[in-house]
Structure 1
Amino acid sequence: MDSELNRKLLEPTEEEGEKLKSKIWGESKKLWIVAGPSIFTRFSTFGISVISQAFIGHIGATEMAAYALVGTVLLRFANGILLGMASALETLCGQAYGARQYHMLGVYLQRSWIVLFISSLFLLPVFLFTTPILRFLGQDEAIAEVAGTIALWLIPVAFSFIVSFTCQMFLSAQSKNMIISYLAAFSLSIHIFLSWLLTVKYKFRVPGAMISTILAYWIPNIGQLLFVICGGCPETWKGFSFLAFKDLWPIIKLSLSSGAMLCLELWYNTVLVLLTGNMKNAEVAIDALSICLNINGWEMMISLGFLAATSVRVSNELGRGSSRAAKFAVVVAVLTSLAIGLVLFVFFLFFRERLAYIFTESRQVARAVADLSPLLACSILLNSVQPVLSGVAVGSGWQSIVAYVNLACYYLVGIPIGAVLGYIFHFDIKGIWMGMLFGTFVQTLVLVYITLRTDWEEQVALTRQRVNKWFVPRSKESNGNTQNA
């Protein structure tokens, strides 16, 4: 009798356990469908910059420091603005796709092209006047001169972000990002070959590396455009439309708040490099720090892949009207990314100095990298959670709230503490990095609190308002087309 009673009491628990396992497995599959290709694509794209730096690093220490400054400061400045503004498209496309307003995705894509192109024009002076800007910021004269030349080569790369970011977000919202991965892999292979050919075999030095870099960024863009326009997305791309020029102001406002959110985050490491550039033996300090930030950047590609996947999952479920599914998607994404972060935390604590020789032949720089490795490992651990929570913000459309959080935690907490530890207490690079890590830790805690306190039913209602506000009936959208793809 007792065994029968126990069986009846246990059965519902077992059933609930099976349902939970099935639910987790189902959500994990949906997450990885977006996260897997997204991570690989970001690895490949980030790999272009790392490969360029590796080849330039073997040309000379000054050239490597100059490329590190331009890549980490100026290119990241442009990347932050354009990626941030493009993340508005991630919100709109994800929610519209979840609401089955498929034809609106193509209109949003074209509106985003217009906004990002105008933004890129405003960024041009930064690349044209790189040398005087770096001199004004107190950088070494020789490094500033070489950086000015490299910056001019990177102007086509900055414009490539317009197509790259928007097409990736347009395709990811539909879980059609495998094509992006194939193109990224092809581009990376070409870049390795061309970099060797132009810098090692034919000795074109910096110009050779930069020509290969430009081609590596534009090859996948051309492939993505052809895929979108030539029939790869028949439900969501209905041709070029004059409606792209309509209702631009709401898109611009959302893009600006998105840009502010992500820029404040991406520029955080930029400040770290600039503060390092004013220290003694700046060349070794910048080289060591740029190597650590490159390694950290590789890991960030995993987190940014989860950011994109979380954004897609949350926006799709909110657009579909399912608050519980959106909340569950957040939990699965955070736990998955954190587990990967813990593994990498342990890995980078063990490998330290040996990783530096991929980028440099200098023992002095390698020792400096080994000294910074514990901080690098801590950064990797924090980065496994924080970007995923930012993905929740993008998927929900909270970009403006997170922008204020980033401003307070990074620039009112992290940087001042880092400056005090680095310059007043003479911890140098370590002190600056420790302060900035503390800022990231505070920001992560705030985002966790905001996410836990979120009313997901209210988010569903807000999503419906946004989707309906910018909805264009299919008949009008068709009439506004200038051509059919």
Structure 2
Amino acid sequence: MEEAPLLHQNRASNGHEEEEEEEEEEKVEKSLAKRAIEESNKLWMLSGPAISTSICQYSLGAITQTFAGQVSTLALAVVSVENSVIAGLAFGVMMGMGSASETLCGQVYGAGKITMLGIYMQRSWVILFVTSLILVPVYVFSPPILKLFGQTDEIADATGRFAIWMLPQLFAYALNFPIEKFLQAQGKFSVMACVAGVVLLIHVLLSWLLILKLGWGLVGAAVSLNLSWWLVVSGKLAYIFIWKSDGAWTGFSFQAFKDLFGFVKLSLASAVMLCLEIWYLMIVIVITGHLKNPLIAVDAISICMNINGWDFMIALGFNAAISVRVSNELGAGKPGAAKFSVLVVSTTSIAIGLVCMALVLGTRDHFPYLFSNSAEVRKEVTNLAPLLATTVLLNSLQPVLSGVAIGAGWQALVAYINIGCYYMVGLPAGLLLGFKFGFGVEGIWGGMIGGIVLQTIILTIITSCTNWKKEALEAENRIRKWGGSVAED
């Protein structure tokens, strides 16, 4: 008779324990959801203006290309090749060399050593100005370089003349990228977005006036694009020098010339990593020049790369945001927060990639009309839309993982991965499919997409297996090595 009440008591006790476990699980889930929302808000506060900045700055060249397409098929090809190959090469080098300051600025800001930001920006200016001088011959001798890679004489010679006119843009890059990293580390993305937005409006008006209204053609395209890039640089410098820097800018200093070797070493690793990524799909345009009817093929692939570039700017905004979040948290000694940030931004960017992929496929018969008056070009662009959509989806995650690498300082490792995946797998596969098996542009692009898939898988595995506590210690050592003495002064 005594066993029944005891059994009842045990069941009640077990039921109570189960309720407590369920309540505990609900608290954990709510806590996790709250953390995810908070992290998402932080990322959007950074990535929103960063995406706007990237799109506006990219649109400077893209809009110039659009106006050129209304002049002639040759003008469109010239601006496309210069933007994608010549300026694209310079953009990749300069952005890559500037990414060393992105790692270091983010980590010293997270550690609270604000005065080092101005020193790092100046140090990066010195390195990028020298790099600009080294790149000048690429612009000057661009016709034989393009012909060497199979571009037709007509397109190569005209592109060479246009490239000479675009030299001022090269030196604007040298100032712009260190400024961006300086502002990004402090989370001042809205400043860059405002400057880029105002300049974009000015650029649209200038391009219409000079290229179409006054009939200056390619000369008008060069004038408007150069002037717009220097307006971007001037607006950001005005903010730093005149209005506000929160103690990060303390004036020009000879400290900028100290520890240049270590800075150059990280800059070169950054440049190799990003250049291998940026140039990879640009190579498609160069290789396309070897196909039959290259003018139509180059125009079609250039339009697709233009659209891909706009989408890539969204991912580049997340790239900048996650780089800042990871570098700040590692610099502050918070490895768990860095890891959680990577998870949230990866999920968000993939969701956006799926939406953009659907948008490309849904408008494949319509968007080519924005870029060309040629029915042949528009038809070829429509045929390439499925490959464009696939690339757009991959672009949603791959740049985010690169941003994690920049924030943590893994540039050298990722450079080796890029060489293997892109140039030892993807590019040979594209050449085989495009020429050996006769699939043309679709084969070239499809094979190279395989390289992106492989690289994304490898970076995902590396990021998932990362010891974030160890990365925080690495950041602390890096700050002590390059930031301690100045910060303490």
**Residues 297, 380 of structure 2: 8 Å contact kept:** yes
User: What stretches of structure 1 of length at least 5 have no aligned partner?
Assistant: 478-485
1:245 is displaced (CA, Å) by 0.6
Q: Distance in 2 between matches of 1:471 and 1:181?
A: 29
* CA distance in 2: counterparts of 1:460 and 1:133, whole angstroms: 44
How far apart are residue 202 of structure 1 and its match?
Answer: 1.2
CA deviations on 1:365-408 (whole Å, 9 max, x unpaired) are 01100100000000011111111001110000000000000000
Shift of 1:4: 5.3
Q: Which amino acid in structure 2 is aligned with residue 9 of structure 1?
A: E
Which one is further off, 374-383 or 27-36? 27-36
Match of 1:140 in 2: 152
Aligned pair partner of 1:213 in 217, 221, 225 = 225
Equivalents in 1 of 2:360, 2:49: separation in Å?
Answer: 24
TM-score relative to the length of structure 1:
0.96
- Where does 1:84-483 land on structure 2 (aligned, <5 Å)? 84-474=96-486
1:217-243 deviations in Å (ceiling 9; x for gaps): 111210111111224113211111110
Deviations 1:295-327 (A, max 9, x none): 000000011111111110000000000111110
Letter in 1 for 2:26: E
Runs of 4 or more, structure 1, over 3 Å off, are: 1-7, 472-477
Listed one character per residue, the Cα deviations across residues 429-473 of structure 1 (whole Å, up to 9, x for unaligned) are 000001000000000011011111111111111111100001244
Q: TM-score, normalised by structure 2?
A: 0.96
Separation in structure 2 between the aligned mates of residue 335 and residue 157 of structure 1, nearest angstrom: 36
The answer to which of 449-458 and 417-426 deviates more is: 449-458
Q: State the partner residue of 2:6.
A: none
Distance 1:325 1:428 in 2: 46
Partner Cα distance (2:221, 2:279) in 1? 25
The AA in structure 1 aligned to 2:369 is Y
- 2:81 & 2:62 partners in 1: Cα distance? 13
> Matched residues in 1 for 2:442 and 2:483: separation?
51
Mapped contact 2:115–2:487 kept (Cα < 8 A): no
Q: Would the alpha carbon gap of residues 442 and 474 (structure 1) be closer, same or farther in structure 2, given more than 3 Å must change?
A: closer
The whole-number CA distance in structure 1 between the counterparts of 2:252 and 2:348 is 39
Question: Which residue of structure 1 aligns with residue 9 of structure 2?
Answer: none
Structure number, greater radius of gyration: 2
User: How many angstroms apart in 1 are the aligned matches of 2:238 and 2:210?
Assistant: 29
The equivalent residue for 2:43 is 31
Task: Structure 2: give runs of 5+ residues left out of the alignment.
Answer: 1-11
CA contact (8 A) 2:64 2:221 kept: yes
Aligned identity (percent) is: 44
Kindly provide the amino acid, as one letter, of the partner of residue 317 in structure 1. Answer: E
- Secondary structure of the residue aligned to 1:168 is helix
Could you list the per-position Cα deviations for residues 74-130 of structure 1 after superposition, in whole angstroms to 9, with x for gaps in the alignment? 111000000011011100000000111111111111000000000000000011111
Cα distance in 2 for partners of 1:370, 1:250 equals 48
Aligned pairs, number: 477
| Cα distance in 2 between the residues matched to 1:217 and 1:360 | 25
Give the CA deviation at 1:259: 0.2
In the TM superposition, what are the counterparts of 1:46-57 in structure 2 within 5 Å?
46-57=58-69
Provide the C-alpha distance between the structure 2 equivalents of 1:78 and 1:434, rounded to a whole number of angstroms. 26
- In structure 1, distance between residues paired with 2:46 and 2:176: 16
CA distance in 2 between counterparts of 1:344 and 1:131 reads 36
Would you say 1:71 and 2:96 are equivalent positions? no
Q: AA paired with 1:8?
A: E
In structure 2, C-alpha distance between the alignment counterparts of 1:150 and 1:475, rounded to whole Å? 45
Q: 2:421 touches 2:454 (CA, 8 Å); kept in 1?
A: yes
SS in 2 for 1:101: coil
Cα gap change, 1:296/1:475 in structure 2, threshold over 3 Å: closer, same or farther? closer
Match of 1:483 in 2: none
CA shift, 1:7, in A, is 3.8
- Cα separation, 2, equivalents of 1:385 and 1:476: 39
Q: Give the whole-Å Cα distance in 2 for the aligned partners of 1:337 and 1:44.
A: 19
Partners of 2:325 and 2:338 within 8 A in 1: yes
Whole-Å Cα distance in 1 between the matches of residues 279 and 487 of structure 2?
43
Secondary structure at 1:353 match in 2: coil
SS at match of 2:49: helix
Contact 2:331 2:475 in 1 (8 A): yes
> CA separation in 2, counterparts of 1:127 and 1:377?
32
Q: Distance in 2 between matches of 1:374 and 1:474?
A: 53
Alpha carbons 2:71, 2:212 under 8 Å: kept: no
Shift of 1:291: 0.3
The one-letter code of the counterpart of 1:445 is: I
Q: Corresponding residue for 1:11?
A: 23
C-alpha distance 475-421 of structure 1, shift in aligned 2 (>3 A) = closer
Mean alpha-carbon deviation: is it higher for 171-180 or for 134-143?
Answer: 134-143
1:182-217, CA deviations, whole angstroms, 9 ceiling, x for partnerless residues?
110110000111111112211111111211111111
